[in-house]
Structure 1
Amino acid sequence: MTGRTPRLSRLRRVVPEGRGGRPADARAARPEQTRGGKPRRRGTQPKVVALGGGMGLSASLAALRRITGDLTAVVTVADDGGSSGRLRDELGVLPPGDLRKALAALCGDDDWGQTWARVIQHRFQSQGDLHEHAVGNLLIVALWEQLGDHVQALDLVGKLLGAHGRVLPMSAVPLELQALVRGHDPERPDEVDTVRGQATVALTPGEVQSVHLVPSDPPAVPEAVDAVLDADWVVLGPGSWFSSVIPHLLVPDLLDALVETKARRVLSLNLAPQPGETEGFSPQRHLEVLGRHAPKLALDVVLADEAAVPDRDSLTDAAKRFGAAVELAPVARTDGTPRHDPELLAAAYDRIFRMHGRIGPWR
């Protein structure tokens, strides 16, 4: 089910390195407004790849589909809870839940799209084995078994839904997320324990020090690698930082593609720390953690909600270590919940894309 061989070797290049092994100026290492050495035609839609999982990725996809018709989602496959976990344990398949959510987020606003979005998100309520299984999870797994190909099956579901984009798993094998957590046991606040499983890590007490995947060298889906290498823009986040965002940086071929792509890279920060996983984290702390897991990754823009950044200078300094500028914009819903508004987030992405289109790299 893995498809073609990744073509990372075609983009190997030498760039000057700065602190921590990062490119000293990643923006200077990328040609201005080019794809394959050719100037981009004015008015063409950007190729955008969004990476993440769960509700955070759904938020970015719901926004991005409003501003481009060339959109690919690359989704984590470490979920081990709920319907996904049960299917994974029973059938040995990739957890389909985050893939389903991404497909639902890409459904159109017309009757067809919204009807199918509700259908695949529908969960059965019963006293039997179907209880809490999502229709979309069962559909995706059935097609995997019928076709024997993860990507072909997801493309077929997307075609059925009329999805405004493509959904790909980041790896062709189900992964286990493990975290080193200090103070996981309140009676041993200074000791570090290993916490296993994405669902457990997401809610763990204590302070997460780092995360890793089992297996430690999982194969990336070649189509996901190609999408990153071919992109004009790569969007990472928002989402659960340790369980949905950082796992993409732990798949070696995918990380290599993220480091070597000529695409501009946008990091979307969360609206608030997540209870358990990132409780008490400042916006700049999120960046520091990201850098520890991927020291060679460069960024171009860090997007944050202006109301969620109490110390702008510290965030600006943290972003500069990645070669990035900070873009502050109102992107939260106005109902007080820590959720992104798709229209406001779309406007923020559109502004970033257009600003770079007009003036090239940040200076």
Structure 2
Amino acid sequence: MSGRPRVAALGGGHGLSASLQALQLVTDRITAIVTVADNGGSSGRLREEFDILPPGDLRMALTALCDSTEWGLQWRDALQHRFAGDGPLGGHALGNLIIASLWDLRGDPVSGLDFVGRLLGARGRVLPMSTEPLEIRAMVQGAEPGSDEVTEVVGQVQVATTPGRVQSIRLLPDPPLACRESLDAVHDADWVVLGPGSWFTSVMPHLAVPDLREALVQTRARRLLTLNVVNSGETEGFTAANHLEVMVAHAPELHFDAVLADAEAVVGQEDLLRRAAESVGAELILKSVANRDHSSTHDVLLLAAAYRDILG
């Protein structure tokens, strides 16, 4: 590999946004592949009313890749602007409405996203992992208070906020259709970066799309798994190694070249995590990548430095 690496970055929400902001300091040959199962907030309302892909995570990925010129930053802020009030527009992000409008006008989600990317001067491309809106269903132990019974929890928001322990996920429709351009991006990449993000609702869903999972297994790209800096919400009580274990359970044929973890977040877990990384063929790389002011998030500059060292 020579020059700037081609990177396919998979995830959703704030985790993918941080990863993309870091990656664009390393390369401008980026394709974001975004989960499309959100059923809450503005995205959920638009999805229900118009039967479209939920645009919110796609909007966040696009704005993360915006050009750093005044034009790009102004459009970033405009797309992220959220209307106040309790009326029909209340709570909607302008970017979600623009994306939905372009999908209606152009009749193609990929074309619409590419158009918004040009508007932002995006340093990369944003694609959905599937061309149809998906529903997450999870088997959860202890979802009901006072019970250890394993029950099914339906919906991204519901899975992300369940007080129980998530054991597995699946997607509907079954099987979900992968976006062809996303498959091409995985095959054409020099590196595939998976994570960080909400593990069961932003990271793992990519492995529940059969064609996308197969592309991740078959690609000649090297694979990097970026772990979260804290375990909360749907992975409350998980060790860092547990994150790899559930990934192996969902895609045992998928191997990685590197696993990146924040050094301070895994103090006392290093040996267990290193063995878990080796079990998927990966080298464990420990770096300081957490935001010290907001320790639940990645510091973009520190993450970019780690990516630079790993991607070469």
What TM-score do the two structures reach when normalised by structure 2? 0.98
Render the CA deviation track for 1:250-298: whole Å, top value 9, x for unaligned: 00110000000000000000000022x0001110011001110111001
CA distance in 2, matches of 1:63, 1:298: 23
Q: Rg: which structure is higher?
A: 1
Displacement of 1:142: 0.3
Structure 2 unaligned regions, length at least 5:
none
Where does residue 156 of structure 2 map in the other structure? Answer: 198
2:94 counterpart of 1:132: no
Counterpart of 1:144? 103
CA displacement at 1:128 relative to structure 2:
1.1
Q: Which moved more, 1:125-134 or 1:331-340?
A: 331-340
- AA aligned to 1:199 is V
CA distance in 2, matches of 1:200, 1:127: 23
Does residue 39 of structure 2 align to residue 86 of structure 1? Answer: no
Aligned partner (choices 188, 195, 202) of residue 244 of structure 1: 202
- 212, 216, 221: which one pairs with 2:179? 221
**Alignment partner of 1:282 is 2:239:** yes
Q: Secondary structure at the match of 1:351?
A: helix
Q: Distance in 1 between matches of 2:215 and 2:198?
A: 22
Q: CA deviation at 1:108?
A: 2.4
Q: Which residue of 1 aligns with 2:74?
A: 115
Deviation per residue, 1:328-354 (Å, 9 max, x gap): 101111214311111110000000112
In the other structure, the counterpart of 2:144 is: 185
Q: Which residue of 2 aligns with 1:231?
A: 189
1:8-40 deviation line (CA, Å, top 9, x unaligned): xxxxxxxxxxxxxxxxxxxxxxxxxxxxxxxx4
**Equivalents in 2 of 1:132, 1:109: separation in Å?**
27
Q: Distance in 2 between matches of 1:259 and 1:83?
A: 34
SS at match of 2:201: helix
Aligned: 1:294 with 2:254: no
- The one-letter amino acid paired with 1:85 is G
**Amino acid paired to 2:261:** A
- Aligned-pair distance for 1:113? 1.8
Aligned residues: 311
Report the residue type matching 1:313 in the other structure.
D
Is 1:61 the counterpart of 2:20 in the alignment? yes
Equivalent position SS for 1:259: helix
- SS for the counterpart of 1:212 is strand
Q: Deviations over 1:69-99 (max 9, x none)?
A: 1000000000000000000000000000000
Question: What CA distance in whole angstroms lies between the structure 2 residues aligned with 1:312 and 1:151?
Answer: 41
> What is the alpha-carbon distance in structure 2 between the residues aligned to residue 252 and residue 139 of structure 1?
30
Offset at 1:115? 1.2
Sort the Cα spacing of 1:109 and 1:281 in 2 relative to 1 into closer, same or farther, 3 A: same
> What is the SS of the residue equivalent to 1:180?
strand
1:27-106 to structure 2, matched below 5 A, reads: 40=1, 42=2, 44-106=3-65
Cα distance in 2 for residues equivalent to 1:295 and 1:58 = 27
- Structure with greater proportional helix content: 2
State, as a whole percentage, how many aligned pairs show the same letter: 57
CA distance 1:336–1:150, change in 2 (3 Å):
closer
Q: Deviations over 1:86-137 (max 9, x none)?
A: 0000000000000000001001222222211111010001231000000000
Task: Give, in whole Å, the separation in 1 of the partners of 2:92 and 2:46.
Answer: 9
- Equivalent residue, structure 1, for 2:287: 329
| 1:350 alignment partner in structure 2 | 308
Q: What is the CA–CA distance in structure 2 between the aligned matches of 1:331 and 1:188, rounded to whole Å?
A: 38
Structure 1 CA distance, aligned partners of 2:85 and 2:141? Answer: 40
In the TM superposition, what whole-angstrom CA distance separates every residue of 1:147-183 from its partner, at most 9, and x where no partner exists? 0011111000000110111000000000000100001
- Could you say what the CA RMSD is over the residues aligned between the two structures, in angstroms? 0.8
- Please report how far the alpha carbon of residue 242 of structure 1 lies from its aligned counterpart in structure 2 after TM superposition: 0.2
State the 4+ residue runs in structure 1 displaced beyond 6 angstroms. Answer: none
Say which SS state the counterpart of residue 267 (structure 1) adopts: strand
**2:163 counterpart letter in structure 1:** P
In 2: Cα distance, 1:328 partner to 1:230 partner: 28
Give matches, 1:7-18, under 5 Å.
none
- Give the TM-score, by structure 1 length: 0.85
Identify unmatched segments of 5+ residues in structure 1. 1-39, 355-363
Which position in structure 1 is the counterpart of 2:215? 257
Q: Does the CA contact (< 8 Å) of 2:139 and 2:166 recur in 1? A: yes
